[in-house]
Structure 1
Amino acid sequence: MGIFSIADRHLRFAIKLACAIVLALFVGFHFQLETPRWAVLTAAIVAAGPAFAAGGEPYSGAIRYRGMLRICGTFIGCIAALVMIIVLIRAPLVMVMVCCLWAGFCTWVSSLVKVENSYAWGLAGYTALIIIITIQNAPLLSPQFAVERCSEIVIGIVCAIVADLLFSPRSIKQEIDRELDALLVAQYQLMQLCIRHGDSEEVDAAWGGLVRQTQALEGMRSSLHMESSRWARANRRLKALNTLSLTLITQACETYLIQNFRPDLITPEWREMFAQPVETVRDVHKQLKRMRRILSWTGEHDTPITLYSWVGAATRYQLLKRGVVGNAKISAREEEILQGEVVVKVESAERHHAMVNFWRTTLSCALGTVFWLWTGWTSGSGAMVMIAVVTSLAMRLPNPKMAGIDFLYGTVAALPIGAFYFLVVLPSTQQSMLLLCISLAVLAFFIGIEVQKRRLGSLGTLASTINILVLDNPMTFHFSQFLDSALGQLVGCFLALMIILLVRDNSQARTGRVLLNQFVSAAVSSLTTNTARRNENHLPALYQQLFLLLNKYPGDLAKFRLALTLIIAHQRLRDAPVPVNDDLSAFHRQLRRTADKLISASNDDKRRRYFDRLLEELDVYQEKLVIWQASPQVTEPVNRLVGMLRKYQHALTVS
């Protein structure tokens, strides 16, 4: 049954893509647009892009959101192009070079913003370049061209959205409901593993899987938010559930680590209770109900703090989960949970990676300009545009090299497919708009199926084929022009791939070290007596950085354990009852300043110097805690943090 449903979704999206392209083509010719190709190309990219990313039919709202990003990116690019034309119209070469810098700048910004918003900035970069190149022979027509391009793109986006709505976009809500239950069961099973204190590799695999599962749920929340405004209450609850899920992971792993120092932390009664197997969410609910009853009798003083906190977080998770499933009005208790903490955003650790992307895009566009001017090739401008498109869109992806190869394969496949349509199909359909629409619908249908399978080159084939077809008004069929355009695309993708391969990205080690130092800074910054700072919730940001570390170093368990241990230290010190006095408050500020200098250090020597200073200050801080008679709840986690920093000093200071 599942196989048939997947096949049905594949067919439904292929029909949806064909409908979007045909609708854009019909509207373009009906309203006598000069280049309906832009509307058709936009409809194809906006509809097919999310399907390629999702590996199937995208959920409701994804196409609409991508369309809005494309509109924003197009308008930003058009405004930037008009400003460059007004200022630099008398120096065309300088204007093109400035536009190359603009494309690099947009790629740099897209590397630092959230992944889901990076598409708009990448688009803004190459949109300006397209306008600058196109108006070289008629600069006075640039405002008209910019307006026409924006209009055609908006038409294409509207057609893609209409097609999405016509064919019943699938909602992600049921998937979220199932995932919430599965996540709670997985959290309970992780706690069972940690209390049993079994094999460390098994625990590593379990918490690593839970981090990814929680990250996937956060992605689903974004899709639900895009789907409809009626899920606003569910969206608020899911934000809090993301934090609660990360809190549960942290408490479970801390329970495991503490038993390395205190094996008798968990009493036999609690071990026996967690030894009972659970398979369904109903079993978890029964167990949590028993635990709450026991805790109401015994109180928190006779229960390990990590276990007591875990049960409380799991109970809040249950409450919010019921609210998400029913999408009911938010109760007073839920509102208290939702407003309990302020979620903090962390600074990006990929600044060096972003700078590499800037130079890749800028140099490739400049190389395309030199190639265009040196050869005088009429399609050199097309090659230059493809260079900008590939480098702008590929840089934000985890593997830019594979994205470049995908574009190159697409342009190679587009050559025979486009030639067949150009020489045989399109000339035969000139007397009938219906035949023209059917021929393009067939092309879109079959490529739409391949796009959902993430077939290498499928998305590039769709875009490149539409781009080289003569979908202008009126249609003209000059084979030399077609061949020039097709070869221009091919040469542009090849040059872009060469730049990606030659300008190597050596930022992985630096990014990993910055990430680890950010974990150190977060742990140190949690030492505070400021109430507002204590209410700041860094967990989502820290786990987002941990997820980035997982992607950068997929097999390095030592780095994951170190990062997780630092996150646990942060969470424990944040809740520790630090004595409130001016002496400790001033020293907390000094510790934060040193940690900030550690992160921003430009070389290994400075980094080692600041790290040594931080360790010396933490030794002094421990002495101050003894003087001010701090409780073991403060002194023990601080001592563990200092010991861990000394143990991993080399990994945290050497690039």
Structure 2
Amino acid sequence: MYSISRLHLRFAFKLAFAIVLALFVGFHFQLETPRWAVLTAAIVAAGPAFAAGGEPYSGAIRYRGMLRIIGTFIGCIAALVIITSLIRAPVVMLLVCCIWAGFCTWISSLVKVENSYAWGLSGYTALIIVVTIQLDPVTTPQFAVERCSEIVIGIVCAILADLIFSPRSIKQEIDRELDNLLVDHYRLMQLCIAHGEKEEVDKAWSNMVRRTTALEGMRSNLRIESARWGQANRRLKAINSLSLTLITQACETFLIQNTRPEFVTPEFRMLFEIPVENAADVHKRMKVLRRVISSTGEKNTPVTIRTWAGAATRFLLLKRGVASNTRISAVEEEILTDEVVIKVQSAERHHAMINFWRTTISCLLGCLFWLWTGWTSGSGAMVMIAVVTSLAMRLPNPRMVSLDFLYGMLVALPLGALYFLVIIPSTQQSMLLLCISLALLGFFIGIEVQKRRLGSMGALAGTINVIVLDNPMTFHFSTFLDSALGQIVGCFLAMMVILLVRDNSKERTGRTLLNQFVSAAVSALTTNNNRRKENHLPALYRQLFLLLNMFPGDIDRYRLALTLIIAHQRLRDAPIPVNADLSAFHRKLRHTADKVISASNDDKRRRHFEQLLGELDIYQEKLRIWEAPLQVTEPVKRLANILHKYQHTLIDA
């Protein structure tokens, strides 16, 4: 049974207020189509709530509003360029606009998920303008300016509603999660030192990866909430890397004991046997651990425990700074600037290309449907196709998104008819009654949106789109029916294209991700101090999280990816002998690893991978000749064995 809390009611009032404010401002300033302002306010306010499954945290609505403004302006500029260049060839103009929508979807599939909304929006915004001005191209600049103005008004109304209804801050959640995360990091290390069951360790580390990723998402919310959290945001960015380091060192401790049970000495085993209940207990145990490491000496302390203790100490220091949000000290500044975080290239290029073709093909089919039937609302169907495909492609399950739109448009037909035929004609003489009627619509759908009810977002957008909120209001039932049916047909065609154009990129993306882990491990073989300071962990774990979502339950694939991440981290800290011969061979290894990732087919990939294996064998011989220590030869040998063992998975899987 789903209960309605105070927060759910507060957001429902917030959404209702945003809709009413946009409606009032639109009519007060005599906008030609106040519907766009109302629709924008509703979508900007409800979108983050639907994604979060409840009232969004402070800053989420504002950030989404800024993305919508950026996307709208990009789309308007693109529409003006397309129209002025191809006004004499309307069919070619529509074709180019369809390609532009596909191009924007392609880019949105490669950028960060939180920024993809702007690019998806810019694609269908251009299409809306091009389709709308077909009868009177001369009014294009005016229409583009009006659309931008109405959208900005809607966004401002949504932001004002968010500010008035006391948006909740995520800061307390972050402080609480940091304490819990520290305790669970200690327990994960306890489990790995005790060398527990593989399944239990797998479950624990995967949970820690997900929680660390969630904490990074919280940091993004805190960053956009207010500028006063700037110091805390810098600390949290470093804490993300430290949390991933703790996970890596704990798991490496477990893996090393598979072949060397004596790796962890009895003294440290006894030290980690004492259970902890809260962050204060961890703080006490860390003091004891540092004293033991100091008295034992670095050489007699397992390297993973020593590294783990150092990362946990820095975690504790930065955690206190996040809680207080005070000025960053000199010690903290040294931690924050110690490493350069590296961004990795997207592994979803094939998936992005499929999204490009899905959007382009569906928009072209919409054009053909419109031109062939001559249906007055064919343009509306075409626009809805672009909206659905542009917004659905970046999400993990495009089919469910298209289904949500379709259900929503089916609900919008009777709901819109009720407003169009009964409520609005009865209230159009009274602005107060009109506002109350739309406030009730926003309130009840606002509650359903927070439940993530299938079709709720589509119903909200579809209903506002089909009811008459133009200035002046006109009530032609045939126009309403055409508009409502156009929405339904457009959503149906978009869903058909998504179902027919299958996304077969999953296995290829998974293989590319694994090969990126291989490349990262090989790239750690360097004697260049600047390259050694490069921190690849956040990018690698981001890719690992993507792998977790793409292949749920495939524990062998996760273990392989984690093992390669551990190999990267260990080789990065390994004392490799400094000489010209090894440095030249490091460059050769990195070049071959890059070829494995960029190979255009399986034969080339297999050939480059076999070349990499051969070069690793030669490299091990070179290390023996140059008398490299065990801290270097052991992880290199382990990496070569992993690549030999999982050769089929890395090439053909």
Q: Which runs of 5+ in 2 are unaligned?
A: none
**Letter in structure 2 aligned against 1:615:** L
Unaligned runs of 5+ in 1: none
In structure 2, the residue matched to 1:139 is: 137
Amino acid aligned to 2:500: L
1:337 maps to a residue whose letter is I
Alpha-carbon distance change, 4 to 281 in structure 1, aligned in 2, over 3 angstroms: farther
1:219-618 map, 5 Å: 219-618=217-616
User: For residue 627 of structure 1, what is the amino acid of its counterpart?
Assistant: I
Q: Which residue of 2 aligns with 1:56?
A: 54
**Distance in 2 between the 1:4 and 1:312 partners?**
45
Q: Could you give the per-residue CA deviations for residues 458-494 of structure 1, whole angstroms, max 9, x where no partner exists?
A: 0000000000010000000000000000000000000
Match of 2:33 in 1: 35
Distance 1:518 1:314 in 2: 28
Q: Which amino acid aligns with 1:301?
A: K
Identity of aligned residues (%): 77
Instruction: Give SS of 2:527's match.
Output: coil
C-alpha distance in structure 1 between counterparts of 2:530 and 2:342, whole Å: 12
1:574-620 C-alpha deviation (Å, 9 max, x unpaired): 00000001100000000000000000111111111111100000000
Pair 4,391 (structure 1): closer, same or farther in 2 beyond 3 Å: closer
- 1:374-430 deviations in Å (ceiling 9; x for gaps): 000000000000000000000000000000000000000000000000000000001
State the alpha-carbon separation in 2 of the partners of residues 452 and 91 from structure 1.
Answer: 46
Counterpart of 2:216 in structure 1 is 218
1:161 corresponds to: 159
Give a deviation string over 1:325-363, Cα, whole Å, max 9, x none. Answer: 000110000000000000000000000000000000000
More displaced stretch, 277-286 vs 396-405: 277-286
In the alignment, structure 1 residue 653 sits paired with structure 2 residue 647: no
Report the alpha carbon displacement of residue 5 of structure 1 after superposing the two structures with TM: 10
Separation of aligned partners in 2, 1:576 and 1:530: 12
Q: TM-score, normalised by structure 2?
A: 0.99
- 1:268 to partner: Cα distance: 1.1
Rounded to whole Å, the distance in 1 between the matches of 2:267 and 2:566 is 25
User: What are the residue-to-residue correspondences of 1:13-162 with 2, within 5 Å?
Assistant: 13-162=11-160
Q: Deviations over 1:179-232 (max 9, x none)?
A: 000100110010011000010000000000000000000000000000000000
| 1-structure distance, mates of 2:4, 2:420 | 34
Distance 2:4 2:437 in 1: 26
Distance 1:490 1:46 in 2: 22
Q: Tell me, in whole angstroms, the C-alpha distance in 1 between the residues paired with 2:16 and 2:552.
A: 38
Give, as a single letter, the amino acid of the residue that structure 2 aligns with 1:233: Q
Q: What SS is found at the alignment partner of 1:242?
A: helix
Q: 2:443 & 2:309 partners in 1: Cα distance?
A: 51
CA shift, 1:293, in A, is: 1.4
Secondary structure of residue in 1 paired with 2:638? helix
In 1, distance between residues paired with 2:324 and 2:532?
A: 33
Task: Report the AA paired with residue 230 of structure 2.
Answer: A
1:261 deviates by 1.3
Q: C-alpha deviations, 1:242-261, integer Å up to 9, x for none?
A: 00000000000000000011
In structure 2, what residue type is equivalent to 1:61? G
In the TM superposition, residue 134 of structure 1 has moved relative to its aligned partner by: 0.3
The number of residue pairs the alignment matches comes to: 653
TM-aligned CA deviation for residue 6 of structure 1:
6.5
What is the deviation of 1:158?
A: 0.2
> How far apart in 1 are the matches of 2:399 and 2:567?
38
CA-CA distance at 1:4 after TM superposition: 12
Alignment TM-score, normalising by the size of structure 1: 0.99
In structure 1, C-alpha distance between the alignment counterparts of 2:304 and 2:425, rounded to whole Å: 73
Letter matched to residue 354 of structure 1: A
1:204: which partner in 2?
202
Secondary structure at the residue paired with 1:278?
coil
Structure 2: distance between partners of 1:581 and 1:197: 38
Between the aligned partners of 1:183 and 1:4, the Cα distance in structure 2 is 29
The 1:243–1:629 alpha-carbon spacing in structure 2 relative to 1, beyond 3 Å, is: same
Cα distance in 1, alignment partners of residues 330 and 124 from structure 2: 49
CA drift at 1:294: 1.4
Which 4+ runs in 1 deviate beyond 2 A?
3-6
Give CA deviations for 1:423-457 in whole Å, capped at 9, x if unaligned.
00000001100000000000000000000000000
| C-alpha spacing 1:343/1:474, structure 2 compared with 1 (3 Å) | same
Amino acid at match of 1:75: F
